[in-house]
Structure 1
């Protein structure tokens, strides 16, 4: 694990944590919650200054950060305390961190799409002698559907053709404003994938890039939620989980492949942080949101002090779980 990998890892961790905590901080300030301290990093204090009623600090360990609000985990008489603000305001503060990580993932993927372009369902070239060429597919055509399955990107075309089973596929084509249907044969390439022999048209535009950023982020989010569902129902394996050591190793691998790959991993980590933080578990933002919903229907049946103790217990469980993952990471990625 080289110095370059460690530097990239620190930058990425600090970026994702800063974005997350800035979300909490900005919304807390906007709804009138008093923020006592905003910190990047954990552990020993390196630098601190005060502006207004908030202390801004930089700490030695780049493994976290926090936005410490008055009345967040205890009862406070301060009218600006978190516990004294309306439930809707507290809910906005709680979800703001994960929302910012979600937006960060979208922006990163959008920037990637702007940099390298997006493979569309338009045909840029047709390989000579390929099934598509023999069927009459021409450069400039736009593939609208494959065997009746609508497609909107080249990945959709690849998936539809790859998942087909017959000797031919039916292509709905848009050519010069006219729709037509073409029957194309299918061949198998060197990778064993079913293809028809067309190359995608690459487009670079803000609109296409943003659409790709949003759709790709939500597609990745769906896959993450599906995996979490498998994990909690016993259909998934804990062996697939990685902690900080594993993530640093992945960052090193992707950094060797270039900045685009590293940026894509950063987006994935940001989205992962957003989703995991919204799980309804004590100490996580999702757990805090769950207690707010309970408060909405029961009032203060659960006191601030009791909730704080539950969150503390949840934090201890999370620390234990992270220690378990850390041991597995060290065994897999170091020894």
Structure 2
């Protein structure tokens, strides 16, 4: 790993933390909660500036950040303290951090899709070996059917061609309003062996469509992440598969080698991971704080601020222990080997 890779990893992590804590900050301000400090990083203060009632600071260790609200972890008589807000306002503040990470993941995924383009059913060109071109199909033709079955997307085309039984396929195209059919031999892609006809799709760069596709891709990734978390809880996936800051830096290093699209994709994955993990109902995490809000609303004064603070402190210690564990694993996997 180079210095540049480490710098990229630090910048990425700081941006993700800034977005997360920025969500808490914006939500807190919007419901009238006083914010004492908004910090990126942990440990000693490197830079600070006070604007209004809030101190904005950059701290030494790029391993997190925080939005320190009045009365969040202790009693405060200030009418603008976190503790004085109604349940709905507290819930919005708590959820806002993960929500912003989720929004960032969708936007980054949409940006990647917009940059790469969305394949359409129109043909922009042909590969070196192209049965479609030999059969008489032209660039600009729009594929409307395969084996007399209607197709509406590029995915429909690839799946239909792969499913063809036999050595030939009939392709229906729209050429400037004229419906034409062409029958051609199938060939195989050299690397994968899948059936192809040697066509290249035209691509669309519609921002609205890209946003929808970005949301769909993020939803699919979120489902997969939740499944993995469930497998970790059930023991089907070992904790040895977990990784920490060193592993993330190694992933950034690998992504940089392939280009910034891969770096952006990794950033979206990590942002989504932060959104999901932070909402787990575990002490010290946002999900744990939200759970305590609900429990205390139901039980009244059965749980005091001091009791909740102690539970969250235990949660923080357990999270630190987990971080030490995964970091030690990362050292063994990526540094000592």
What band does the TM-score fall into relative to the shorter chain?
0.7 to 0.9
Q: Counterpart in 2 of 1:258?
A: 259
| 1:249-277 deviation per Cα after TM superposition (whole angstroms, max 9, x unaligned) | 11111112222211111111111111111
Q: After alignment, is 170-179 or 122-131 more displaced?
A: 170-179
- Structure 1 distance, partners of 2:150, 2:277, is 33
1:72-221 equivalent positions in 2, closer than 5 A:
72-125=72-125, 140-142=141-143, 152=153, 154-155=154-155, 158=158, 164=163, 166-167=165-166, 175=174, 188-197=188-197, 198-221=199-222
**Relative to structure 1, is the Cα distance of residues 195 and 73 closer, same or farther in structure 2, using a 3 angstrom cutoff?**
farther
Q: After alignment, is 193-202 or 134-143 more displaced?
A: 134-143
| 1:91-140 deviation per Cα after TM superposition (whole angstroms, max 9, x unaligned) | 00001111111111122222222322222354444658767679997753
Aligned length: 333
After TM superposition, give the deviation of residue 301 of structure 1 in Å.
2.5
Computed over aligned residues only, the root mean square deviation of the Cα atoms, in angstroms, reads 3.1
TM-score (norm 1): 0.86
Q: Counterpart in 2 of 1:46?
A: 46
1:54-69 equivalent positions in 2, closer than 5 A:
54-69=54-69
TM-score (norm 2): 0.86
- Structure 2 distance, partners of 1:277, 1:169, is 53
**Relative to structure 1, is the Cα distance of residues 141 and 9 closer, same or farther in structure 2, using a 3 angstrom cutoff?**
same
Q: Counterpart in 2 of 1:26?
A: 26
1:223 to 2:224 alignment: yes
- Structure 1 distance, partners of 2:238, 2:205, is 39
After TM superposition, give the deviation of residue 89 of structure 1 in Å.
0.3
Considering only CA atoms, is the larger Rg found in Structure 1 or Structure 2? 2
- Structure 2 distance, partners of 1:121, 1:251, is 34
After TM superposition, give the deviation of residue 11 of structure 1 in Å.
0.8
Answer whether contact 1:126 1:138 (CA < 8 A) is retained: no
After TM superposition, give the deviation of residue 326 of structure 1 in Å.
0.3
Q: After alignment, is 268-277 or 20-29 more displaced?
A: 268-277
| 1:9-65 deviation per Cα after TM superposition (whole angstroms, max 9, x unaligned) | 111011111111111001101101111111111111112222222221111111111
Answer whether contact 1:25 1:38 (CA < 8 A) is retained: yes
Answer whether contact 2:143 2:151 (CA < 8 A) is retained: no
- Structure 2 distance, partners of 1:259, 1:220, is 20
Q: Counterpart in 1 of 2:5?
A: 5
**Relative to structure 1, is the Cα distance of residues 103 and 188 closer, same or farther in structure 2, using a 3 angstrom cutoff?**
same
Q: Give the SS at the match of 2:320.
A: helix
Answer whether contact 1:39 1:57 (CA < 8 A) is retained: yes
**Relative to structure 1, is the Cα distance of residues 6 and 160 closer, same or farther in structure 2, using a 3 angstrom cutoff?**
farther
**Relative to structure 1, is the Cα distance of residues 54 and 194 closer, same or farther in structure 2, using a 3 angstrom cutoff?**
same
**Relative to structure 1, is the Cα distance of residues 37 and 128 closer, same or farther in structure 2, using a 3 angstrom cutoff?**
closer
